[in-house]
Amino acid sequence: MKKILYFSFFCSLSLPLAAFGQTHAHASFFPPNSLRFPVDGKSINQGLSQEATVSAIEAVKLAYDDYIRQDGREFTFDLLWKSEEVNAIHFASRSRVLISIFGGIARHPLMSADGFKFVLCHELGHSFGGFPQKSKEDFASSEGQSDYYASLKCMRKVLAQEDNAKFLRAVQIPAVLKKACEQSHTSREDQLICMRSTLAGLNLGKILATLKAGIPTPDLSTPDLSVVQTTNLSYPTVQCRLDTFFQGALCTKPVHESLYYADEMKGTCNVSEGFTKGVRPACWFKPAYSGM
């Protein structure tokens, strides 16, 4: 019964925002898009079933139950299975957080169970990801920071419950990914989680590339080498987002070390601390402390 105080679950109707109360933050995994996947679609590959979608939500909820209790706000995961929209949206106030998940995102033909968990981790990253925020008034971390948090902390917590060695034996791991994870992490389990989390990020990178014509499919071997002059608080490029997923997985800071809005370095890997791997990419993040 205690868990219900923090996690509510709806499968058909959206929780009205009027009932939710005044909303101070509004963020989504995908930028606005026109992709639609109806529940009765005729595609041979319909992505995740409703059962698999619910199972993925429950896995993330289980991993985050204690963290939600410590946060003190009421969290609601609202699955709108009949919706054909492709997105998940985070709303937050001082007392409540609502994560609305549209059925179309789960039914995207390329969506994997791990990719879907990563989306949920991104949405939780808006609440737990720390600096930088979308704006000074927001109760939400920026898009790039939420991407970073998803692999830096959340997917590690979620995948710690699973048999990662067994999962990875059944999939192909890019050589560049295997080498990077093995070089960054000393624990074999941390190496496996690094690989599996980044594979989920690769899955989402492919989906992000379908949102608009002309977006190249991102690759771990072709990082975005652009350097921003100020931190981008909106959506980075698709390649830059994949780079962020990858770097978050490579960071070796303890998974239990929290992040804060007032401290850009706590719980993260930074060049100023001597890290060369696992840092937030310069294609979206401009650190205040360069260590120079």
Bridging pattern class, strands 96-102 and 25-28: unpaired
Per DSSP (E only), the strands in the chain are 7-10, 25-28, 74-80, 88-92, 96-102
| 124 closest CA partner among 159, 89, 170 | 89
Q: In this predicted model, what pLDDT tens digit does every residue of 132-149 receive, in sequence order?
A: 999 877 779 999 999 999
Q: In this predicted model, what pLDDT tens digit does every residue of 274-291 receive, in sequence order?
A: 999 999 999 999 998 755
Q: In this predicted model, what pLDDT tens digit does every residue of 184-239 receive, in sequence order?
A: 999 999 999 999 999 999 999 999 999 999 999 999 999 999 999 999 999 999 99
Per DSSP (E only), the strands in 1-159 are 7-10, 25-28, 74-80, 88-92, 96-102
Give dist(CA 116, CA 57) in Å, integer: 9
- Please provide the distance, in angstroms rounded to a whole number, between the alpha carbons at the two ends of the chain: 52
Q: In this predicted model, what pLDDT tens digit does every residue of 52-83 receive, in sequence order?
A: 999 999 999 999 999 999 999 999 999 999 99
Question: What pLDDT is stored for residue 45 in this prediction?
Answer: 64
Instruction: Show the CA angle centred on residue 200, arms to residues 35 and 159, nearest 5°.
Output: 130
Q: In this predicted model, what pLDDT tens digit does every residue of 107-127 receive, in sequence order?
A: 999 999 999 999 999 999 999
Give the other-Cβ count within 10 Å of 247's Cβ: 26
Domain ranges of the chain: 2-273
